Amino acid sequence: MGADPATFLRIEGITRRFGQVAAVDAVDIDVARGETLCLLGPSGCGKSTLLRTIAGLEAPDSGRILIDGEDVTALPPHRRPVNMMFQSYALFPHMSVRRNIAFGLERQRLARAAIAERVDEMLALASLEALADRRPHQLSGGQRQRVALARALARHPRVLLLDEPLAALDRQLRERTRTELAAILERVGVTCVLVTHDQEEALTLADRIAVMRQGRVAQIGTPSEIYDEPADRAVAELFGTLNLFPATARNGGLHCASLGLSLAAGTDHADAATVAIRPERLRILAGDEHCDHEVQAHVERNEFLGAARLLLLRLPDGATMRLLTDPRTRAEPGNDVRVGFDAHAVRVLTQ
């Protein structure tokens, strides 16, 4: 493995076993300076264990953690230049907001004035000035989240760890807080590893996403790469509903009966594969419109979703297909329509 000069945090072959089960299984990830990497996956996929390993709260069975070239694997949590925002926020209930934020600075034996100055800076950053003397239980969920973030940022961590930063908030608050969080992270410019099971959170906050499954990294890439070019069916299914059709090998290429579609070979796909198309990549074609590929479909249901319209279509061979389109589209159930899609909208997936 050649050391990429841009790499700031290097996770090298980290394995963490609990009994027989490897919660994290030989994971390698490089994170660039200032980058926000998101570990995405269902609960139990090992993403939190990996995060805790970076923080030093879990000791790996093998592998190394390097920060800016320095091996920190053996360092206990209190000597690592990383700070974490816990899922429960883990605010100290017996301390005011100010004391919570000052806690980490006090451990560094900074001068009192320097601590006060940095705390004020953090309070301003997280818009908490008016709440500085409150206790955690006197704050709303969103305010607590900001205290936890300010507390974790106060020590100028070289890597900031966020464990499900928005999971403790209710749905309505989550979106607004997410925007605030993104703004703060951008302003501070800290290298950041974030754990979430929420794909929307991952897509909006991350520079790169590492999709984790059963302790391993299934795919790593930018949000648009992960969304548009999923490595396999499971990764694809993480992000929204997907139309999947079986395809078989024929004449050295692949043939999908449902869409009446033949694809050239040249890929390493074996004799059977799945063809995937996202619902929003399908279009209903007007009389004279044409597309790379076209297929006839029968409208079964028409659901108005507010911002969009979802059509449930039946294809000539009996397979169903979802199509997401403009809410003004007219397609009454019972009618036949012509559906078109571009060549690059089609993905061939293994498994």
Partner 1 sequence: MTVRARGPARFGFVTAVCFGYAFLYVPIVLLVLYSFNDSRLVTVWGGFSTRWYVALFENETLLRAALRSLQVAVISASLATVVGLAAGLALVRLSGIRRALLMACFGSLLVMPDVLIGLSMLLLFVNLDQLVGWPGRGLTTVALAHLTFASAYVAVVVRARLLQADASIEEAARDLGARPGQAFWLVTVPLIRPALISGWLLAFTLSLDDLVVASFVSGPGSSTLPMVIYSSVRLGVTPEVNALATLLILAVTLGIISAGLINRWVRRSEG
Partner 2 sequence: MKTPAFVRGVALLPLGWMSVFLLLPVAILLRVSLAEPRFEQPPYTDLFALAESGRWAFEGTLQAWRWLLEDPTYRDALLGSLTMASLTTMGCLLLALPMAWAIARAPMSWRTPLLLAVILPFWTSFLIRVYAWIGLLKPEGLINAALMATGLIEQPLLILHSNAAVLIGMTYAYLPFMILPLYATFSRLDEDQLQAAADLGATPWQTFWRISLPLAWPGALAGCLLVFIPAMGEFVVPDLLGGPESYMLGTALWNEFFRNADWPTASALALTMLVVLLAPLALLQRLQRRDEVVS
Distances, alpha carbon 243 to alpha carbons 23, 107, 112, 283, 323, in Å: 31, 54, 60, 14, 9
Partner residues linked to 29 by β-bridges: 11
DSSP annotation of 225 reads H
User: What's the min distance (Å) between Cβ of 78 and partner 1?
Assistant: 5
Q: Does 57 bind partner 1 (CB under 8 A)?
A: yes
136 binds, among partner 1, partner 2, none (CB under 5 to 8 A by kind): partner 1
Q: Which residue has the tokens 């309505």?
A: 172
From the CB of 62, what's the least distance to partner 1, in Å? 22
- HEC letters along 117-171: HHHHHHHHHCCCHHHCCCCHHHCCHHHHHHHHHHHHHCCCCCEEEEECCCCCCCH
Residues for the chain: how many in total?
351
If the CB atoms of residues 48 and 302 are measured against partner 2, the closer one turns out to be 48
Q: Which residues on neighbouring strands pair with residue 299, listed in sequence order?
A: 313
Q: How far apart are CA 110 and CA 281, in angstroms?
A: 56
Q: Which residues pair with 212 in a beta bridge?
A: 217
Which of positions 88-117 make contact with partner 1 (CB under 8 A)?
A: 88, 90-94, 103-104, 107-108
Interacting stretch for partner 1, rule CB under 8 A, among 2-10, 28-36, 83-91, 321-329? 83-91
**CA dihedral for 316, 319, 324, 330, sign (positive or negative):** positive
Report 33-62 residues binding partner 2 (CB under 8 A). Answer: 57-59
Under 8 Å between Cβ of 265 and 224: no
Q: Which does 59 bind (CB under 5 to 8 A by kind): partner 1, partner 2, none?
A: partner 2
Q: Which does 87 bind (CB under 5 to 8 A by kind): partner 1, partner 2, none?
A: partner 1
Instruction: Rule CB under 8 A: choose which of 16, 36, 41, 86 binds partner 1.
Output: 86
Could you say whether residue 84 binds partner 1 (CB under 8 A)?
Answer: yes
Stretch that binds partner 1, among 55-63, 226-234, 237-245, 259-267 (CB under 8 A): 55-63
> Residue 57 CB, nearest distance to partner 2 (Å)?
6
Compare residues 56 and 215 and give the one whose CB is closer to partner 2: 56
Rounded distance between C-alpha atoms, residue 148 and residue 136, angstroms: 10
Which residues within the stretch 76-115 sit at the binding site for partner 2 (CB under 8 A)? 76-77
- Please choose, from the candidates 279, 286, 202, the residue with its C-alpha nearest in 3D space to the C-alpha of residue 241: 279
User: How many of the chain's residues bind partner 2 (CB under 8 A)?
Assistant: 5
Contacts 24+ apart (CB under 8 A), 226-230: 227/203, 229/347, 230/276, 230/347, 230/349
Would you say 47 or 197 has its CB closer to partner 2?
47
- DSSP state letter for 286: P
Select the binding partner of residue 58 from partner 1, partner 2, none (C-beta < 5 to 8 A, by kind). Answer: partner 2
Considering only residues 287 through 306, tell me which ones interact with partner 2, judged by CB under 8 A. Answer: none
Beta carbons within 10 angstroms of residue 205's beta carbon: 23
293: its two tokens: 């590929």
Distance in Å, CB of 135 to partner 1, minimum: 6
The smaller minimum CB distance to partner 1, of residues 89 and 239, is found at 89
**Residue 290, interface with partner 1 (CB under 8 A)?**
no
Site residues for partner 2 per CB under 8 A: 57-59, 76-77
Site residues for partner 1 per CB under 8 A: 55-57, 76-79, 82-84, 86-88, 90-94, 103-104, 107-108, 135-138, 151-152, 155
